[in-house]
Amino acid sequence: MKKFLLLLISITLLLFITSEVTFAGETGKISGRVIDKETGEPLIGANIIIVSKIVEGKEVPLAYTYGAATDIDGEYYIINIPPGYYNVKASYVGYNEQLQTNVEVNVDKTTRVDFQLSLSTVAYEEVYIVGYKKDQVESDLTATKQTYTIEKIETLPGVTDVGDIVSLQADVSDGHFRGGRSGESLYLVGGSSIVNPLNNSRSFEPIAFAFQQVEVYTSGFSAEYGNVQSGVVNLVTKEGPTDRWETKFEVATTNSYYKTWGGSVYSRENNPFFEKMYNPEEWLDGKDPSSGKILWTHFGINFPENYLPPVPVTWPPSPPLSRMDSLRTASLVRALWLQAFKLVGLEYDKPDYRVDFTLGGPVANNTSLFVAGRYEVINPILPTSQPDLNIQMLSSLMYRPSSSDKFKLILNYSNQRANEFHRDYFGYFDPIFNLTINTQNTLQMGAEWNHVFSNSTFMDVKIGWLMTDDLDDLHVLKDNEYSTIYNDNSNWRFYTDPSGHTVGSLYTSSGKSKTNTLSINASVTSQVNKNNLLKTGVQFFYYDMDVDRRSSATNSSSVRFDKYHAYPYEGALYIQDKLEFEGMIANVGLRYDFYNFNTFSYLDKFSPYRNPNIDPTDPTSKYYSEELAAKENTKLVSVLQPRIGISFPIDVSTVLHLNYGLFTQRPAYQYVFLKTLKISPEPNFTRLGNPDLKPEKTISYDIGIVRMLPFGFSIDLSAYLKDVSNLVQDAVYVDRSGNLYQTFNNREYADIKGFHINIEKNEGAVTGFIRYNWQSVRGKNSSAIGPVYSAVYYETNPENNTLPAPEDIYLDFDRTHRVLASLKYSIEKGVSIFGVNPFNNVSLSMIYRFQTGRPFTYDETGQGLRNNRRTPDEHDLRLRIDKKFTVGKVDLGIYLEAFNVLNSKVYDYNNVFSESPDNRYKSIYVKDRENLETDMLYAPYVTKIESFLYGNTPRHFRLGVNIRF
């Protein structure tokens, strides 16, 4: 801890000594030139002022003025502008003023606004109003990214949270950015990370309307972004206005529908076995498909022996037992069976609903508040005592005492509760015992100071804290209990039904994990001259992670414990220069990352607990001992990452861009600190993390061209190549005594290539885009923990080591083709019919997705083929219609959304195509797909399994109403 405090103090001092530092960008820039319209001569000293902001079509005054004056060449620039739409005015003595409206400013981008002023011919100056037209390509485009202004996309169908926005990318599929693994992306809220350090995943799903803009980088992100390999999602938060209060309230509900195909999983149509087994004669004559025994012996009732007269007895008994007597006994057995299937016929289709709101406005002089919230209720696939729940609140308090200083506090909270079912359809009739309640709480707090030194230099300092709390809770089994206390006693009945359904089987894994992340980030951005925008920066993160989980708690010999507490830290220094010239714009950066796991590693790879000083002559000397094992403290790991992006404006409508970068990511901490223990015998571990893991590394190349087309269209084509190495992968080590354990190493890699096409139209009554992505993702394993292909290393017989086949395969998340199309038609003024205009302020929008299937393995030949086949192609269509009304000062809106309009089915990959040795559905899919939807394993007692086979939801609708005032 003393070393950490010393390091923290040193970095803090460095922060204030360094003259120019920065972190994730949240502002943009306007630049341009002012000339005399008639002569073309530059106007020196002309004033350019941002006079107002446009919010939802309304002009809003600014609390403080942004402005600049032109230099000797008539050029100017204004930096540190929050994203949005603005009205910009240019004025010069003796000339008419010119106002350009709806100038769009994006984060980390330069918007070019040129003015041509005319001499004034009257005593007073006239103001010429010109609608700003984006008829030029972004000349400083050096990365591949999409910038979404929430105001523009909030009426697209199904766009309610950040995940929905990210899914608008054709080069992002199932959370994989351009072929990268899950967990290789960075999510920033207000410039601070919301990534859970244990697994490098997003800690919560922020609601979309709490943000002004969302940037999605898929290639070429600059040196300010670290600990990321594949993608960056930068969410720029809204701030409350300082001159008025604004409120939005929205209520939305779906129709009543089932989340699974085939309707209720408890319907008699989905459970044909029930009709047959409901007949008492079936229990008298039928046989158990597994054991071959008569059904009435299923509960251990031995008939007729248990129902004969007392001994001595002769056979047949007198009076003889009749078939009717046997049916009475069969009815008793059936009655016991019915206790487990009392849910048959249950209907549980219910609507989902949510309530959203935003509230913003002044709370004191120069102080404004913004709050966004959500309360959402979602019904899971099976009926439960409590539905899934999503509660969020995102808020900021902004204080601006002067034009030079701005202070902001943020407080974001998320509570997500989900019912997680852990068995297939054979456990549907026992949902309570097969269930855990997962609760995820996330709290983010931060403070930011923005200080403007001059018109060309400003500073940002941010301190943040992120807390995550993940709890898996069981209904029945307590922390100090094993399931055998129920299964081995007469008050508990555990059995497998003749139709294959399990009853009384407890799920036995639970626990919690908590993380705390303290971050310190700072920035000063300086426009050194008209050609150089310089950024340098420092970042530091300190973690406190506590994991306490238990799995397989059937009995003391099978139970496993994951328990550790760790305090790693990491940081970075970087510098970046944006060079802007007439024929070239370049973003050149260099980033230095460092981290220390702040723990120790075992020196004996094959047997970590082995005592190197064992004394064979001493009976008290321990062979395995965690305390006596050879170990050493971890050291500081550092890596230098160069990044460069260049754009070449060919003309005002065309720009060629290319970028290169080295992107590294420290391993997710769960692979470093994981410690899975058993009660006995020694050695008592089955899995250990590896503190010697190296940073995962991606070298990325990207080249593309962007061109503006007639009628407001633009086209963007890019090709990319990624060389990925040092990926974390599980490995098994076997010592000379035959003891084995699982750990991780950096042996994996991936080879990724592809190209992307984006045709877009953002202005006019008809807007939308068509995006296409082709890619090839090859390697050995798709995730750090593979299903059946772990490498195995033997201490005494290394020649027997088991390694993956030398041939690369398509990774199981690869999508060769992906198409995404969006279309929106807005009607501001419709046709009047008998004085009524029902079609004004109406918009129609749609989103269509197509993607090829994922690879899976089916090898009847025994050649060792892997991922040699593909699942079916997938389609999805969503529609939305909006109608807006204005009543006084209140804007009222109503909308209807339709999901999965084509009602297409998508197979659940894990259920149908996994490489698990006991997966039999994959073979049926290949050989007899027509009969896949009925499980014949326990014939004649069969079950229909649509609910298990398909992972998407059937067609359904959502109706919403929103009010703004």
pLDDT of res. 156: 94
Strand ranges inside 94-184, DSSP E: 97-105, 110-112, 115-117, 127-131, 144-149, 172-173, 176-177
Q: Is the peptide bond before 940 cis (omega within 30 degrees of 0)?
A: yes
Q: Is the pLDDT of residue 166 over 90?
A: yes
Q: Residue 761, Cβ neighbours under 10 Å: how many?
A: 17
Taking phi over 0 as left and psi of -120 to 50 as alpha, with beta for the rest, 334 belongs to alpha
Separation of alpha carbons 456 and 66, rounded Å: 12
pLDDT at site 793: 95
Task: Give yes or no for residue 898 having a pLDDT over 70.
Answer: yes
Residue range 565-590: average pLDDT?
A: 93
pLDDT of residue 834: 57
CA-nearest of 497, 406, 433, 325 to 27 is 406
Cα 939 to Cα 499, 891, 917: the distances in Å are 8, 60, 22
Task: Indicate if the alpha-carbon torsion angle 158, 159, 165, 169 is positive or negative.
Answer: positive
- The predicted model gives 202-223 an average pLDDT of 92
Contacts of 51 (CB under 8 A, 6+ apart): 62, 65, 86, 87, 88, 89, 99
Alpha carbon distance 905, 898 (integer Å): 16
Q: Give the SS3 label for residue 874.
A: strand
CB atoms within 10 A of CB 175: 19
Pairing of strands 144-149, 192-193: unpaired
Q: What is the mean pLDDT of residues 162-168?
A: 95
pTM (whole model) above 0.75? yes
Instruction: State how far the Cα of 443 lies from the Cα of 660, in Å rounded to an integer.
Output: 36
Domain assignments of the chain as residue spans, ordered by start: 2-131, 272-340
pLDDT attached to residue 333 = 84
| pLDDT bracket for residue 12 (50, 70, 90) | very low
Residue keyed to tokens 């056979």: 315
Kindly list the distances between the CA atom of residue 940 and the CA atoms of 264, 276, 278, in Å, as whole numbers in the listed order.
22, 9, 13
Beta-sheet strands, E only, within 403-483? 405-421, 435-454, 457-474
Burial of 313 per CB tally in 10 Å (0-12, 13-18, 19+): exposed
State the pLDDT at residue 712. Answer: 85
User: Is the pLDDT reported for residue 5 higher than 80?
Assistant: no
* Residues 452, 81: Cα–Cα separation, whole Å: 12
Over residues 555-580, mean pLDDT: 93
What burial class does residue 320 get, using C-beta atoms within 10 Å of its C-beta: 0-12 exposed, 13-18 middle, 19+ buried?
exposed
Q: For residue 316, is pLDDT > 70? A: no
**CATH number corresponding to 2-131:** 2.60.40.1120
> Phi and psi (nearest 5°) for 804?
-60, 155
What per-residue confidence (pLDDT) applies to 297? 77
Is the distance from CB of 640 to CB of 695 less than 8 angstroms? no
In sequence order, which residues have a C-beta less than 8 Å from that of residue 518 and are 6 or more positions away?
464, 465, 541, 542, 543
Place of tokens 């000083």: 613
Closest among 741, 193, 197, 185 to 513, alpha carbons compared:
197
> How far apart are the C-alpha atoms of 787 and 801, rounded to whole Å?
18
CA distances from 532 to 17, 232, 376 (A): 22, 24, 47
**How high is the mean pLDDT of the chain?**
88
pLDDT of residue 567: 97
- State how far the alpha carbon of 815 is from the alpha carbons of 173, 771, 775, 870, 874, in Å: 8, 14, 7, 10, 10
What tokens appear for 87 in the block?
């009205």
What is the pLDDT confidence band of residue 8, given thresholds at 50, 70 and 90?
Answer: very low
* Percent of all residues in the chain with a pLDDT value above 90, rounded to a whole number: 58
Tell me phi and psi for residue 427, to 5 degrees. Answer: -110, 5
The pLDDT assigned to 339 comes to 87
Which tops the pLDDT comparison, 391 or 493? 391
Degrees to nearest 5, angle at CA 111 with 107 and 113: 155
Token pair of 636 as six digits = 């500081």
Q: With H, G, I as helix, E, B as strand and everything else as coil, classify residue 508.
A: coil
Work out the percent of the chain whose per-residue pLDDT is above 70: 92
The predicted pLDDT at position 180 comes to 94
Phi, psi of 653 (to 5 degrees): -110, -5
The amino acid at 860: E
What is the reported pLDDT for 244? 87
5 or 272: whose pLDDT is higher? 272
Distance from C-alpha of 81 to C-alpha of 83, rounded to nearest angstrom:
6
Is residue 800 packed enough to be buried (19+ CB in 10 Å), middle (13-18) or exposed (0-12)?
Answer: exposed
Highest mean pLDDT among 368-372, 454-458, 834-838, 913-917: 368-372
DSSP-based three-state secondary structure for 671: helix
pLDDT at position 122:
64
What is the tens place of the pLDDT at every residue in 475-515?
A: 788 888 888 887 766 666 678 889 999 888 888 999 999 99
Task: Give residue-wise pLDDT tens across range 599-630.
Answer: 999 999 999 999 999 888 888 888 888 999 99
Which segments of 230-288 are extended strands (E)? 231-237, 246-254
The number of beta carbons lying within 10 Å of the beta carbon of residue 327 is 15
User: Mean pLDDT, to the nearest integer, of 679-704?
Assistant: 93
CA 861 to chain centre: 38
Question: At residue 10, what are phi and psi to the nearest 5 degrees?
Answer: -65, -45
Q: Which of 416-430, 893-907, 949-963 has the lowest mean pLDDT?
A: 416-430
CA atoms within 13 A on the CB side of 590: 1
**Rounded Cα distance, 667 and 696, in Å:** 7
Query: Above 90 in pLDDT, residue 448?
Result: yes
Residue in this structure with the two tokens 């508990």, named with its chain if needed: 492
Alpha carbons 396 and 237: distance in angstroms, whole number: 8
- pLDDT on residue 608: 95
Question: 543 and 569 in contact (C-beta within 8 Å)?
Answer: yes
Give the end-to-end CA distance of the chain in Å, rounded to a whole number: 52
- Measured CA to CA, the distance from residue 438 to residue 436 in angstroms comes to 6
Q: Mind listing the pLDDT tens digit for each residue in 169-212?
A: 999 998 999 999 999 999 999 889 999 999 999 999 999 999 98
In this model, does residue 308 exceed pLDDT 90? no
Q: What pLDDT sits at residue 550?
A: 94
* DSSP H or E run through 898: strand 890-899
Confidence of residue 835 (pLDDT cuts 50, 70, 90): low
How much is the average pLDDT of 890-894? 92
Per residue in 53-112, pLDDT tens? Answer: 888 777 888 877 788 899 888 999 898 888 888 999 998 888 888 888 888 888 878 888
Query: Average pLDDT for residues 850-858, to the nearest whole number?
Result: 95
* pLDDT higher than 90, residue 312: no
pLDDT-derived band at 787 (thresholds 50, 70, 90) equals low
Other beta carbons less than 10 A from residue 853's beta carbon = 18
Residue 51 pLDDT level (bands cut at 50, 70, 90): confident
Residue 6: per-residue pLDDT: 42
Q: What is the pLDDT of residues 325-364, one digit of tens each?
A: 778 878 888 888 898 899 999 999 999 999 999 999 999 8
Tracing tokens 């199904």 back to the chain, one arrives at: 158
Q: Which residues contact residue 524 at a Cβ distance below 8 angstroms, ignoring those fewer than 6 apart?
A: 18, 19, 20, 21, 22, 453, 457, 458, 459, 460, 536
DSSP state of 787: S
Q: What pLDDT score was predicted for residue 9?
A: 37
Contact between 84 and 52 under an 8 Å Cβ cutoff? The reply is no
